[in-house]
Structure 1
Amino acid sequence: MSSEIPGSPDFLHATRTSYDAIARPYAEQLSDWLGDRPLDLALVTAFAELVRSSGTAPVADVGSGPGHVTARLDGLGVPVFGVDLSPRMVALARQAHPGLRFHVGSMTALDLPDETLGGVLALYSIIHVPDDQLPTVFAEFHRVLVPGGHVLLGFQTGEEDTRLHLTERFEQRISLDYYWRTPQTVTEQLTKAGLRLDAQTVREPTPDETRPRAYVLAHKDA
Structure 2
Amino acid sequence: MKADHPDFIRATATSYDAIAGDYTARFSDWAGVPTFDRALIDGFAALVRERGREPVADVGSGPGTVTARMHGLGVPVFGVDVSPGMVALARRNHPALRFHVGSMTSLDLPDATLGGVLALYSVIHVPDEALAGVFAEFRRVLVPGGYLLLAFQLGDGERTTHLHLAERFGHPVSLDYYLRSPEPVTALLAEAGLALHSTVVREPEGEEKRGRVFVLARRAGRD
Structure 1 residue 30 displacement after superposition: 1.1
Aligned-residue RMSD, C-alpha: 1.0
Deviation at 1:31, TM superposition (A): 1.2
Q: Aligned with 1:187: secondary structure? A: helix
In structure 2, relative to structure 1, the CA distance for the partners of 1:45 and 1:16 (3 Å cut) is same
Q: Which amino acid aligns with 1:153?
A: L
Shift of 1:207: 1.8
Q: Which residue of 1 aligns with 2:71?
A: 74
Give the distance between the partners of 1:102 and 1:89, measured in 2 at CA.
Answer: 10
> 2:182 — aligned with what?
183
**Residue 215 (structure 1) shift:** 0.1
Matched, 1:143 2:143: no
Deviation at 1:33, TM superposition (A): 5.0
Output the amino acid matched with 1:104. Answer: V
Q: 1:131: how far off?
A: 0.6
TM-score (norm 2): 0.96
Question: Paired residue for 1:19, among 16, 19, 23?
Answer: 16
Identity %: 63
- The question of whether the paired residues in 2 share the 8 Å contact of 1:34 and 1:40 is answered with no
- Aligned counterpart, 2:203: 204
Counterpart CA distance in 1 for 2:156 and 2:208 is 16
Matches within 5 A, 1:56-71: 56-71=53-68
1:157 maps to: 154
What's the CA shift for 1:183? 0.6
- Unpaired runs of 5+ residues, structure 1, are none
Q: Give the TM-score normalised by structure 1.
A: 0.96
Among 26, 35, 45, the residue aligned to 1:29? 26
| C-alpha deviation, 1:6, in angstroms | 4.0
Aligned residue number for residue 174 of structure 1: 173
Aligned partners of 2:204 and 2:211 also within 8 Å: yes
3-state SS of paired residue (2:209):
coil
**How much does 1:58 deviate?**
0.2
Is the CA contact (8 Å cut-off) linking 1:5 and 1:105 kept in structure 2?
Answer: no
Deviations 1:74-114 (A, max 9, x none): 01110000000000000000000000000000000000000
Hey, what's the Cα distance between the residues in 2 that align with 1:213 and 1:33?
17
User: How far apart are residue 34 of structure 1 and its match?
Assistant: 5.5
Is the 1:81–1:101 contact (alpha carbons within 8 Å) kept by the matching residues of 2? yes
**Paired residue total:** 219
Change in 2 beyond 3 A, CA 1:33/1:181: farther
Q: Which runs of 4 or more aligned residues in structure 1 lie more than 4 Å from their structure 2 counterparts after TM superposition?
A: none
Match of 2:114 in 1: 117
Structure 1 stretch displaced more, 5-14 or 193-202: 5-14
User: Does the 8 A contact of 1:163 with 1:178 survive in 2?
Assistant: yes
Does the CA-based 8 Å contact 1:84-1:90 persist in structure 2?
yes
Higher mean Cα deviation, 117-126 or 29-38?
Answer: 29-38
Query: For residue 137 of structure 2, what is the amino acid of its counterpart?
Result: E
SS of 2:107 mapped into structure 1: coil
C-alpha distance in 2 between matches for 1:183 and 1:189: 10
Give distance in 1, aligned partners of 2:56 and 2:13.
Answer: 22
What are the ranges of 5 or more consecutive residues in structure 2 without an aligned counterpart? none
